Structure 1
Amino acid sequence: MTRWEQAHRSRRSDHEGDDVIGDGRRPDAVADALLGGRSIVMGGPLGSGKSYLRARVVDALRQRGVDPIVVRASAVLRRTYADALAAASDSRALALLRDEPTPPSTIIVVDDAQELDATSLAAVFRAVHSNRATALIAVTEPRLPTASRHDVVDVIHDLWLSGNADRIELPRLSPGDADRLLTVFAPHDPFDSVTRAAILWSADGSRLLLRALVDAGLAALAENRDPIAAIADDASHGALAAVLHAHMRDLDDEQLRALVLIDRAAGIARADATRLARAAVVHELRVSGLVYDDGSTSHRLTANRVLARAAERALGRDVSEAVVSEALDRLLRDEGRWWSTPLARLLADRWVRTVTRPADLDGVSQGLVERVILDAAREANDAGDASDAAAYAAWMRADITVPAIMLEHRFAVARLGAPPTEDRVLDVAADERRRARALVTFPSVNDTAAARTSSSAAGRGSLLRARQAVADLRLRDAVVLTEHVRRDPDTSCLRDRVDVEMLTGMARAYLGETSAMLEALNRAMRLFASGASFDDTFDRLSARSYDLACRTVAGTDDAEAVDRLAFERDMAVRAGGSALAAASLAAVLVEIRRGRVLSARRELHAAAARAPYRGGESLAMIELETAYGLALFGHPHEARQALDAVDVSSSASRMLQHSLVSTSSVVAAADGRIDEARSYAADSWALSSATDAVMLQIRDAHRLAVLGHPYAEQTLAEVRAAAERVEAPTAHALLRDAEAAIADGTGAGKLSAQVLQRLRAALSIREEHDVDATGAPPIATTALTAREREIAHLVERGLSNRRIAEVLFVSVRTVESHIYQARAKVGAATRRELGAIVAHDGQAHDDGSAPPRRQMNAGG
């Protein structure tokens, strides 16, 4: 290693073995085509890998005994040197330049041909047209279709349009190829999955940018910094800044301004964004991947943050601030006729910074001021910015007191650790009480106030009681309550409707009523697909996590649920902000269910570092599940550390108390402390046996039997009668295994591998890794129809069902039907496995000798 190189930089290679990653990138096939006398124009945007493929083609030619003329054009060379061919220092290049004879079978390779001077370009074209030389011409093309084209690019395109050359397309990296390339650049999996997803999203399909981002991320890890935050901070200087600047050169001022606006007002609805920027510009940014549309009914937009920061630097600070200021002025000028919460927060920032008190605002109604500050405070509290929320509310209180804003202020102050300044009861409106409960239960919130009551408020009260019933494992009560809320005609809020189905699914799961559970979960999934999608990323992640938890409790197949949650995690990364912490927590569940417990532990640490607030029973349950998995998969020390870090109060719900003692039992068993493990297992049984949670009782009875508890047989006898009414096949399998454990005395002595193996079975975890596209089994796919195969390839490229439907102009239901039928034909357990099988089968039928995929010349 030379002294200027750093150990934490990415590998200086972008291929796996002999293959260059990406469609149509086969150096040997390109070399064979050149030797066969076919010239090739190789086009793609900056970062598409042209220079790397060009270098590999040159290597392939030299291995065949052919030494090509290599010309590297550049803007600097064009400005400082007369002719690029003359600068190549090759006598054959000079001969071409002077139109003199050259050796037969001369091959010329030109990189960055768009920078060629007119004389050199003419010499290359003469040689190709006269068959005196064969050329590989690599040209950088604009990323956006609206970008202005270089005259030289049009001339080079005429070469293949006229039939004198073939063309190879080098598009942006597909999601699958980008993921493979990241693994090559950063082997040994150094990043947590959220960081990995953030890097892939920020790279925008560019090899060059992906490498720069990986280097920045590795440097951050070496300094014990969060790579996501470090990349955002470091994007203004160094190598990353230079790459970003080059990546953004094709964008015009209007596109740069729109990108800055969407970045500053992250989550702005598409309808609001198009009030402030031309719809065509917003569409271009979205289609190009620079802006993410969350697919909700509001179509909330989020800019690729790293690239947006580069756009801000390109515009300059003054212009960027003017873009935001114009948007805020428009919001004020229209006096609430349309509304944007992200802009409201920016407006609140401006007021707090520039206006002493609300009374000093000229021409702004009190109602509009209250609305701005309330939305800003809520947004800040939800994002974990308690100090900002407190500042907004305190500024407002200088002149006006609004109960809803006071609620946000008290929550923010409590999170900041400051003592309460007053204990006056807040008379919040009925439709604001749900917000109060979502924040925290304050004694100062009068939940029984008679200010405004409605049947809707009563329904939400039933929903709250149902949630508490599930937490206390009063499952029959929960079923009755959720059915009451579902039948209530005033339950129209999408969030409440999904909550009802998820709570019903969880209650039915614990009762072992698998069919009813699946019906409830399917109703919830139909709400997701109805078009009335959640606007809140956290809600979407929570619902997907709850869906997975239900299937875990019931022991049913959860592969599809894991994939759905992984998809939502990646989408949450694009939303950014506080969603990153929620995405990290979702990643914990994904890794645990895939049996990758050390990865789950890393995801948990990343979530803790990113979470705006620590605490809550949901987080404790995830921490306990991580400890449980670590213990069962041979990491007792790490399991003990994770368990000791969990804070469970004496007032915790029965569900959390049960999770704590059952996890303590497994961790003690993994440590070899069998007596302690049996004691905790008995405590776990004592908790579940007092409830109607049959699935917990069965698992507890199984744990007692596997650990060799003296009362195991008696416990099994009590459970058998209840288990007869259980639909879940897992329940009966666990009972049979418990009986076998008692018969062979598995837990009679010290800890054995069989004990842990049997306890792992109770979790229904898939211990194998997900099928990888590079190692899928050679299953024949001849039974698939052309449409099924097409959809499977799009699945392998990482497209969601909704995106596939858009690409193929069909409905989402049609896509789902084709995927289901295709999975059945090839025996794929998940949609991801289907894509991997079809991709592998396609590679198996390709002997690698054909030339790369290309568009043949227009002339014939």
Structure 2
Amino acid sequence: MSIRNIRDDEGVIGDDRDVARVIDLLETGTSIVLVGPLGSGKSHFLRQVINRLSTTEGEPLVLRSIGPHASVPHGALTASRDPRAARLRDGQPEETERPIVIIDDAQELDPASVAAVVRAVYSAHATALFGLTVTREGSTRPVDGSPDAAQMATDLWLRGLAERIDLAALTPRDADLLLDLFAAPELDAMTRAAIVALADGSRMLLRELAAEAGHALRHGRDPIDAMRDSSPNGRLSDALAAHVAQLTAVERSTLATLGRVPGISRADAARFLPTGALDSLVNARLVHDDATPTHRLTANAALAHEVERRMGADAVAPLLDGAIRRMFAPSSEWWCPPLAILAARSWLQESPLGPGYDSVAPQTRAKASLEAARRANDEGEPAEAIAHASLGLRDDDDALLLLEHAFARAAQGGTIDVDALIERLSRTPVDAATLLRCVRVVGLAGPTNADALDAAVDRVATLGCPDARGSAELEMMRADILGARMDWRSAVTIAEAVFAQQSNSTSLRVRAAGLAGLGHACLGAVSKAQTWFLRAHRTAGERGGITPITTVERLRIACNEIVAGAVAGTDLGPVLARLGGEVDAAARQGDAESAATAGLVLSCAYAVTGEPDRAARELDAAVRRARPPAAADMVPLAQIAVAHSLALFDHAEEARQLLDRMDHAAFDGLPTLEHARLVAETYVFTALGQPAEALDAARSAATASETAPALQARDLFQMVALGDGDDALPRMQRMAATSEAPATQRLSAAAEALSDHDGFDPDLVAAMRRATTWGDNGTARGIRIARETSATSATPRDSMAADSDLELTRREREIAMLVGEGLGNREIAERLYLSVRTVESHVYQARAKLGAASRGELGRTVAPRGGASQKAHTVRGL
């Protein structure tokens, strides 16, 4: 933690606020105008200055606006009991005194008091520190108070008689530091990210949100839910009210309305909300734009809820009612899913929002019921989905409504007639999205194993789908199933073919590239894995600020990359740095799927980087938030990863309990999960002092991983460590001789070191931990770095050179510099006494981290500024 960022002796956090410097300026007679928006910590900073002056230099003269005195000339000076205030008021300061005057919220003082202090500054009879509250960035509402008083203080700076210090709104980095100081230590990372998102740059809000989150956690509530729906008239409610008071009436109304329709597209919102207010709220980050092509908008839930509570529900109802009626008009061609869902819910609740059920055309109300049923199913609310689907099915046995009804029943554990459902869907052509939906329903209706999923895909493939993307989606599902079966070669072949088809959706191609990257890592082809992950990032890259895939999709790709790095033993720094930005985006979107997915990915990240306590905390929070079917497929993997980490780091009993609590039926017919469980059990049994059981698990794991060399390397290492190295050790040595995976080489060397021990070594777990935990991956460091840099406007390529020192290891940077000098791999290998294969691996890793398309671009990226690389070429040419 940098001393520049946090000064414990002053209780001040932030590079833009230095108490010692302010005091030095005041002591040397330099007045100061301290400027910051509400919640920027200005008053706290001033209190620190006052406290320091009071203990070292004598009491400063502190002036405050006190109720009625704000409108009385010289009211603030008269109200002060300090005799120096009276002398300033009367214009008769003593010649020998030059008091330091400190005024918080100078714009709220009566102008006459401010004028008296300003005159004293001009005549060198006083040194002043004026605190001024200004509007937050993006707000069009003026700050309350006297503009004359504020202008007089500002004029001192404009005339060169005072120095101006601007306090920035809360930065993500400083928010993390503040949370470290006063947030409950047991808060999970998603809750911390939600606090930062909801605080909207305000230190005051951050403090109250953290207190609310800690209170909720101690009383068994989800902290995120508690912060978004705080109790009225509490500390948090009052802080929120003060924050939204800075908005105009139109902005407040717009914010509250958006709070009722989360995920509405910007185009749809602009049909019934003022575009100026929308832009203002997005620019002020009070409304999150997901940056997808549809620009889905999500309001800051805590602020929107507070606005609606203060305004009253009736304040936003007319806007929503009018919009829904426009959409349902017979001549309308406009359709907005969030508004349709509101209407469908009002029909169930018989609330007066939009036209009544009977006054809407049957086809239109069935369409609205379908939107609502889909949303309920996606949010893990099957009972609500059944209610919406049943209402829509009153008029017609619509095939898509029947599909959602079946989805909900299957999610509840009920039985469905799959044959009848497929037969009904076969009567009309279906699109790609419906095809995938049907696969999920058929899969839910049967056992969750690879064979059942394969059969579900085969059955759904018989449906007529004129959209070629439907076939591609099914092919991608087959690739996923093959990966689950540990048939990574076949999975990679299909995924690469899906990616190569340019007509496929960007989302599908990114998923294909991510699966190919994971598959190649399991096969031990590190350079190919990194190439495919690089392709995934490029395909998903922003175009003019627009990202073609969702936050959940980016999180899933990150999970693949984390698992691949753990398998191959490559540096996780770049993906962990990106992960922080995705967690922040998930917190701003606020939906349950994003929150659960982010938490599960974080639990895996902390697990593979050797932070089991944090991994377990993230897992517990994510599982509580996960509402099947959303993110349900990721839960077993995260549980196994956390159990694995707990066992390696002296929490064997907790690891055993976690594995025992898992639904073991979930592993049937899913060799990838079964293998991961066996690996975790090996470490658990070893840590519990049960070497025979550990060795049985290791042998079974090695048998299961025969089709995945990089995975098998770890299994063989476990066998050697547990005393069964006669066959395993030579196999490892042969693998290490030909493998480019750093993990395989490290494990082979560690196995040789352990191969001579006799009997069970009580320190074996520590040795296994050292051999299988890839160090210097700093999860927390990566996440915080991403939060700090995500607030900037630089593109990844713009910031590439600046971040290269951070992302590259010492060896990678050394090799990249030599690449920039024009050396080939063999020349580099000879100079650094490395193998050519090792150099190739480092070059690929460096290119993947920096997004360099070629060796030449890698060299240019790491070259020192000022043309050092060109100079090297010139020298060599001479």
Matched, 1:498 2:510: yes
Question: What's 1:181 paired with?
Answer: 178
- TM-score when scaled to structure 1? 0.85
Q: What are the within-5 Å matches in structure 2 for residues 10-21 of structure 1?
A: 16-18=8-10, 20-21=12-13
Cα displacement (A) at 1:329: 2.9
Q: What are the within-5 Å matches in structure 2 for residues 67-216 of structure 1?
A: 67-75=59-67, 77-78=69-70, 83-102=75-94, 104-143=97-136, 144-149=138-143, 150=145, 151=147, 152-186=149-183, 189-216=185-212
CA–CA separation in structure 1 for the residues paired with 2:495 and 2:782: 41
Question: What's 1:64 paired with?
Answer: 56
Question: What's 2:580 paired with?
Answer: 566
Q: 1:509 to 1:828 in 2, by over 3 A?
A: closer
What CA deviation, in whole Å up to 9, does each residue of 1:364-414 have, x standing for no partner?
Answer: 444433332222222221122222222211110111221122111122233
CA–CA separation in structure 2 for the residues paired with 1:311 and 1:232: 12
What CA deviation, in whole Å up to 9, does each residue of 1:513-572 have, x standing for no partner?
Answer: 112211211111111114363453322211221122222222222211122223212211
Cα displacement (A) at 1:768: 5.8
Cα pair 2:540 2:549 within 8 Å, conserved: no
What CA deviation, in whole Å up to 9, does each residue of 1:226-258 have, x standing for no partner?
Answer: 211222232533111111111111111111122
CA–CA separation in structure 2 for the residues paired with 1:812 and 1:726: 31
Q: What are the within-5 Å matches in structure 2 for residues 201-240 of structure 1?
A: 201-240=197-236
Q: 1:494 to 1:223 in 2, by over 3 A?
A: same
Matched, 1:648 2:642: no
Greater CA drift, 399-408 or 437-446: 437-446
Matched, 1:630 2:630: no
What CA deviation, in whole Å up to 9, does each residue of 1:823-842 have, x standing for no partner?
Answer: 569889999x99xxxxxxxx
Aligned length: 785
CA–CA separation in structure 2 for the residues paired with 1:821 and 1:758: 31
Equivalent of residue 587 in structure 1, options 584, 602, 609: 602
Question: What's 2:842 paired with?
Answer: none
**Secondary structure of 2:788 counterpart:** coil
CA–CA separation in structure 2 for the residues paired with 1:198 and 1:657: 34
- TM-score when scaled to structure 2? 0.83
Question: What's 2:719 paired with?
Answer: 704
Greater CA drift, 547-556 or 663-672: 547-556
Cα pair 2:104 2:132 within 8 Å, conserved: yes
Q: What are the within-5 Å matches in structure 2 for residues 448-527 of structure 1?
A: 448-452=461-465, 455-488=468-501, 490=503, 492-527=504-539
CA–CA separation in structure 1 for the residues paired with 2:685 and 2:809: 45
Cα displacement (A) at 1:28: 2.3
Question: What's 1:752 paired with?
Answer: 762
Q: 1:530 to 1:224 in 2, by over 3 A?
A: closer
CA–CA separation in structure 2 for the residues paired with 1:591 and 1:638: 16
CA–CA separation in structure 2 for the residues paired with 1:828 and 1:85: 65
Equivalent of residue 762 in structure 1, options 766, 772, 789: 772
Partner amino acid for 2:767?
Q
Cα pair 2:40 2:203 within 8 Å, conserved: yes
Cα pair 2:208 2:236 within 8 Å, conserved: yes
Cα displacement (A) at 1:128: 2.2
Cα pair 2:337 2:371 within 8 Å, conserved: yes
CA–CA separation in structure 1 for the residues paired with 2:61 and 2:346: 60
Q: Structure 2: any 5+ residue segments left out of the alignment?
A: 1-5, 447-455, 814-845, 851-878
Cα displacement (A) at 1:720: 4.8
CA–CA separation in structure 2 for the residues paired with 1:430 and 1:284: 38
What CA deviation, in whole Å up to 9, does each residue of 1:333-375 have, x standing for no partner?
Answer: 496644433222222212333399x997467444433332222
Q: 1:812 to 1:616 in 2, by over 3 A?
A: closer
Cα pair 1:298 1:535 within 8 Å, conserved: no
What CA deviation, in whole Å up to 9, does each residue of 1:611-667 have, x standing for no partner?
Answer: 112795531111011000000011112111111112122633111111111211110
Question: What's 2:679 paired with?
Answer: 662
Question: What's 1:688 paired with?
Answer: 705
CA–CA separation in structure 2 for the residues paired with 1:334 and 1:668: 68
Question: What's 2:839 paired with?
Answer: none
Q: 1:76 to 1:404 in 2, by over 3 A?
A: farther
Cα pair 1:706 1:738 within 8 Å, conserved: yes
Partner amino acid for 1:620?
P
Cα pair 1:706 1:755 within 8 Å, conserved: no
Cα pair 2:259 2:300 within 8 Å, conserved: yes
Cα pair 2:32 2:128 within 8 Å, conserved: yes
Greater CA drift, 722-731 or 600-609: 722-731
CA–CA separation in structure 1 for the residues paired with 2:331 and 2:596: 35
Question: What's 2:541 paired with?
Answer: 529
CA–CA separation in structure 2 for the residues paired with 1:504 and 1:555: 17
Cα displacement (A) at 1:206: 1.3
Partner amino acid for 1:547?
E
Equivalent of residue 40 in structure 2, options 26, 39, 48: 48
CA RMSD of aligned residues (A): 3.1
Question: What's 2:437 paired with?
Answer: 435
Q: 1:489 to 1:524 in 2, by over 3 A?
A: closer
CA–CA separation in structure 2 for the residues paired with 1:516 and 1:117: 70
**Secondary structure of 1:758 counterpart:** helix
Partner amino acid for 2:48?
R
Partner amino acid for 1:729?
P
**Secondary structure of 2:716 counterpart:** helix
Partner amino acid for 1:184?
L
Cα pair 1:74 1:115 within 8 Å, conserved: no
Q: 1:638 to 1:266 in 2, by over 3 A?
A: same
Partner amino acid for 2:25?
A
Q: 1:812 to 1:796 in 2, by over 3 A?
A: closer
Equivalent of residue 297 in structure 2, options 298, 301, 306: 301
Cα pair 2:370 2:392 within 8 Å, conserved: no
Partner amino acid for 1:434?
L
Cα pair 2:577 2:782 within 8 Å, conserved: no
Partner amino acid for 1:799?
T
Q: 1:488 to 1:119 in 2, by over 3 A?
A: closer
Greater CA drift, 204-213 or 749-758: 749-758
Question: What's 1:679 paired with?
Answer: 696
Q: 1:190 to 1:334 in 2, by over 3 A?
A: farther
CA–CA separation in structure 2 for the residues paired with 1:241 and 1:360: 35
Cα displacement (A) at 1:756: 3.1
Matched, 1:557 2:571: yes
Question: What's 2:637 paired with?
Answer: 621
Cα displacement (A) at 1:769: 6.5
Equivalent of residue 39 in structure 1, options 28, 31, 34: 31
CA–CA separation in structure 2 for the residues paired with 1:725 and 1:772: 32
Partner amino acid for 1:312?
E
Cα displacement (A) at 1:74: 4.1
**Secondary structure of 2:236 counterpart:** helix
Equivalent of residue 390 in structure 1, options 386, 389, 411: 386
**Secondary structure of 1:302 counterpart:** strand
